[in-house]
Amino acid sequence: MSYGDDSGDNSPHDDNIYRVCVDPETNAVEISCIGINRLDTALEDTYVSVDALPEWVQRKLALLMMTSPAPPSHGVAGVGRRMEENIYWVHYTGD
């Protein structure tokens, strides 16, 4: 996986992007689906911890947690983008 520079194909493979917010004190996770197919999402709105997330979200979130939260944010192709210290956009790519 490589950093996207916004000039290449850095978009998700479907229309769903998940806004993932991790509470730094409790590790609880809130997820909002953004996209045309948001009613068909298999993810819950809240999880008690990052460990309770589906494995595909955990993998992508772990990678995004290694990126800098300082603006401007840079997307990771096929993964998503770190928007703030504890807020991420995660792309669903069918995995």
Give the residue-averaged pLDDT of 58-66.
96
Choice between 28 and 5, residue whose per-residue pLDDT is larger: 28
How far is 24 from 92, CA to CA, in rounded Å? Answer: 24
User: pLDDT by residue (tens digit) across 12-47?
Assistant: 445 678 999 999 999 999 999 887 655 556 678 899
Choice between 5 and 68, residue whose per-residue pLDDT is larger: 68
**pTM for the whole structure:** 0.78
**Overall residue count recorded for the chain in this entry:** 95
Task: Count other Cβ atoms within 10 Å, centred on residue 79.
Answer: 25
Instruction: Check residue 27 and give its pLDDT.
Output: 94
User: pLDDT by residue (tens digit) across 65-91?
Assistant: 999 999 888 899 999 999 999 999 999
Strand partners, 81: 75, 89
Instruction: Check residue 20 and give its pLDDT.
Output: 96
Instruction: Check residue 30 and give its pLDDT.
Output: 96
